[in-house]
Amino acid sequence: MTKVSLHCKSIAWLFVRHTPTGRLQSFACSEHLFQFLRTMTTNTTDNQHRGSKKPRAPKETMRHVKSREQRKRGVDVHGPATVYAQVVGAGSRDNGASLYVFSEFNRYLFNCGEGTQRLMQEHKLKAARLDNIFLTRMSWENVGGLSGMILTLKDTGVPEVVLSGPPQLEKYVNAIRVFSGPLEEIKLAVRPYTEKQYADDTMTVSQIPIFGEEDGPKCSPNSGRSSPSSSPQRREGTSWLLKQNTLGYQCKLIVEYKFSFSCSTNLSRLMTFLMHFLHRGTAAIGPLIAALKDGKSVTYEGREIHPEEVCTLTDPGPAFIVVECPSEEFVQPICIDQQLSRYQRGGTEDPAALVVHMSPESVLKTDEYKQWMERFPSTTEHLILNEQVCTVHNVRSHKIQTQLNLIHPEIFPELQHYKTKAALHVPNVRAECLLKFQLRPKIEWQRDAIPSCDTEEFVKEAAEAPNFLQEVEECKRFRATDAAVLSGRAEKYPEVVFLGTGSALPMKIRNVSGNLVNISATQSVLLDCGEGTFGQLCRHYGDSVDETLAKISTVFISHMHADHHTGLLSLLFQRERALATLGKAFSPIYLIAPVQMMTWLNLYHDHCEEILSHVNIVPSKVMCEGAEVSKFKTKAFIQALLITLFQTCPVRHCKNAFACSITHQSGWQLVFSGDTMPCDALTHMGKNATLLIHEATLEDGLEDEAVEKRHSTTSQAIGIGMKMNAEFIMLNHFSQRYAKIPLFSEDFNDRVGISFDHMRVSEILPRLIPPLKALFAEEIGEMEERRGRRELKQMKEAIAESNKEQRTPNEGETGKGAKREPEEPTQDVGSKRLKTN
């Protein structure tokens, strides 16, 4: 490299600052980014078979790509007009800290914990337009949502994702391939932490590795963000990780890595400068800029222009810092970090406009950290993302629950808000979901995007639905008589709390698979644990979530699709924290899952965080009827649960997919299908079950799609329940196209119920259906219209087909058969309409 470009490099290191300079410094780096074709939305397709689904061809946002081309060619070198940082997850226990940075050229995400994707979908932050994902630390809190995000981006057709973060990141990305299926369609570029900085059209981001002190003070289990030393188990894992690190990651002193990123927006005057300098502008400028970008000097009108002239005259844009200090061990290293101190008073850089602290209160309260915050001038704003925040993230979930609560307050209990308070001497702003800090054009806080959660408004809206209040009144009358009948009897079923009833990917109204079965006052079993299951538990149980976690002794994972298990790790870590908070002894959970689950857990354990001590694996296949294995392990958990039998059976979905059945001492039998097409083995296992929870991904009429995706339609699910002679059938795992309510099929009867997220049932009341239909009349109407159109189309196709066949000689019977066919759907549409209205 020439002297000039070396000089430029050093400028980059000092976090320069604006569009063209940024490109100058990291041109090679932005080359591959440039190919990052942006597609539009995070999308709502059903991709239950995410592993095998072909990605849709990316819809090219040509305008976007074109303008990027132009910027690259130097035709348009204006920096972005708008840049802001926006809170996605405020750092609460149910929604970990994540920050979205927007410019019209680029989008970035800092951290991607579980539920991030769901929040982005709800609040219309388009994940498919992300250029970069930065991770501040390898902990499940920061990466838990990444696998789901990658799968969604892949399904949306995004060709590449660029990830920056700690050294374990590459291994993590490799580990998710265990359950993600092939990821060839999407290029996962992992930028090593040693790569000091990154620059694009919007900003330069420098990675600042910070290493915790090995013998620093311990983090209490309640401190919020998990610490590697929060428990003996974790301690063990950490030392293990240390040994690994000495094997060649060049990180010998580390307890755990900690990264922070420092960013500066490109508020450039370069173009103005160039225009002035070259006063003739236009066509001649392009090639000159291109040469300067490459670090070459150019001659124009007899005058030599050196790239550094261009660089040094540029105006540094405002800088912001994102820093995570997970525990006291990192306080000192952060406080003495030279790179960060340059943005403080007396530093060599203009002071940072904003410091984003992803740090627990226990850290913020240490004198050393407070003093460090105070060393920034008063113009620097401090944004705090931790558990001491008061904000509602999942507004749509609160809305639907508030409305359902009107129908039945016990079955649809109100969701919980966390009440937290905290005070800090250093002036700061507590994060709220969607709170913005604008960096350009004007530096200011913006609160207009923060969603409101107005319960009264939700109630009013529901009351306006025709017939809704009448149906609710009717329902109340039944409830009184039902309660009188039921009060004399022992509970028929365990209490089931539906935590996630949607399929494929977490969406604002339905999260992915998760069902909590409260067997007794002290024992619970979790059936599936999709991403965000812990967050759902938080919102359902509020402050008593620790007690709930402490009761979970067994988790059943039906199969390895991401919508069924990627919430397991946070459940395990949070359960450990809950046990410690409650002063209870730690014990591993019994994990009944396909053996492939262990491949994933082993890889995560080996490269990321200690996890194996949390689980006692019982492979699903050893619980099948007639399996020849040692019953030692299985006996223990069966005894603990006070059940007489826990059984599994293979189902017709993907390789190693299982259903399960739990038979209790008191006589009830609960059967859970997992994902499956209609399955005889399941019917056999669940003969005369008290309660069947069966997937019903698709509506009737979509049988072909159901076969293709190996799922069941509503009627198929009910059919299995009837064949099984189940006393009650609860349907769940609905395609996300039925966000609020699935389409009712003709064979709905008083033994069938539909599940909603946060629905809590111990005795099922099918009488809820009329008020539900009133509440969601509009959605049902729309879905029926869609079905009508689809059936009409099928009918037309069938007519066309039969006409063709009629014209073909010697067709005989086939032709006649095909001719009769079209009449049936017509009747069908009519009768179905009548039934559902």
Residue number, 90 or 677, with CB nearest to Zn ion: 677
Residue number, 329 or 675, with CB nearest to Zn ion: 675
Query: How far apart, in whole angstroms, are the C-alpha atoms of residue 112 and residue 125?
Result: 13
Among 40, 46, 80, which residue's Cα sits nearest to residue 62?
Answer: 40
CB of 709 to Zn ion, least distance (A): 8
Token pair 């109630």 in the structure block, residue? 459
| Binders in 596-655 for Zn ion, by CB under 5 A | none
CB of 621 to Zn ion, least distance (A): 17
DSSP letter string, 209-251: EEE--TTPPPPPTTSSS--TTSSHHHHHHHHHHHHHHHTTSS-
Torsion sign over Cα 445, 76, 34, 60: positive
**Stretch near Zn ion under the rule CB under 5 A, chosen from 164-172, 611-619, 669-677, 817-825:** 669-677
Residue number, 197 or 736, with CB nearest to Zn ion: 736
Residue number, 362 or 503, with CB nearest to Zn ion: 503
Residue number, 227 or 648, with CB nearest to Zn ion: 648
Residue 390 · residue 253 · CB < 8 Å:
no
CB of 231 to Zn ion, least distance (A): 33
Residue number, 430 or 561, with CB nearest to Zn ion: 561
Query: How far apart, in whole angstroms, are the C-alpha atoms of residue 698 and residue 735?
Result: 6
**Stretch near Zn ion under the rule CB under 5 A, chosen from 175-183, 390-398, 501-509, 578-586:** 501-509
Instruction: Please report whether residue 710 would count as binding Zn ion according to CB under 5 A.
Output: no
Quickly count: other Cβ atoms within 10 Å of residue 283's Cβ: 8
Residue number, 641 or 720, with CB nearest to Zn ion: 720
CA 718 to chain centre: 31
Query: How far apart, in whole angstroms, are the C-alpha atoms of residue 779 and residue 740?
Result: 8
* Contact mark string toward Zn ion, 714..733, x via CB under 5 A: --------------------
CB of 531 to Zn ion, least distance (A): 12
| Binders in 557-576 for Zn ion, by CB under 5 A | 561, 563
CB of 704 to Zn ion, least distance (A): 18
Q: What is the DSSP letter of 615?
A: E
| Sheet containing strand 615-619, strands side by side | 615-619, 589-593, 552-556, 524-529, 514-518, 495-500, 759-761
Among 660, 639, 505, which residue's Cα sits nearest to residue 594?
Answer: 660
CB of 615 to Zn ion, least distance (A): 21
Q: Which residues contact 836 (CB under 8 A, 6 or more apart)?
A: 743, 744, 773, 780, 784
Instruction: Please report whether residue 675 would count as binding Zn ion according to CB under 5 A.
Output: yes
Residue number, 91 or 181, with CB nearest to Zn ion: 181
CB of 593 to Zn ion, least distance (A): 14
| Number of residues engaging Zn ion in binding (CB under 5 A) | 4
Instruction: Please report whether residue 46 would count as binding Zn ion according to CB under 5 A.
Output: no
Instruction: Please report whether residue 699 would count as binding Zn ion according to CB under 5 A.
Output: no
DSSP letter string, 129-195: G--EEE-SSSSHHHHTTHHHHHHHHHHHT--EEEEE--TTHHHHHHHTHHHH---TTSEEEEEPTTS
* Contact mark string toward Zn ion, 519..558, x via CB under 5 A: ----------------------------------------
| Binders in 434-493 for Zn ion, by CB under 5 A | none
CB of 145 to Zn ion, least distance (A): 17
Instruction: Please report whether residue 709 would count as binding Zn ion according to CB under 5 A.
Output: no
CB of 124 to Zn ion, least distance (A): 25
CB of 695 to Zn ion, least distance (A): 7
Q: List alpha helices for 408-454, DSSP H.
A: none
Residue number, 395 or 739, with CB nearest to Zn ion: 739
Instruction: Please report whether residue 503 would count as binding Zn ion according to CB under 5 A.
Output: yes
Quickly count: other Cβ atoms within 10 Å of residue 822's Cβ: 17
Residue number, 324 or 563, with CB nearest to Zn ion: 563
Three-state SS for 641-666 is HCEEEEEEEECCCCCCCEEEEEEECC
Q: Which two tokens stand for residue 93?
A: 């226990």
For binding to Zn ion (CB under 5 A), which residues are involved?
Answer: 503, 561, 563, 675
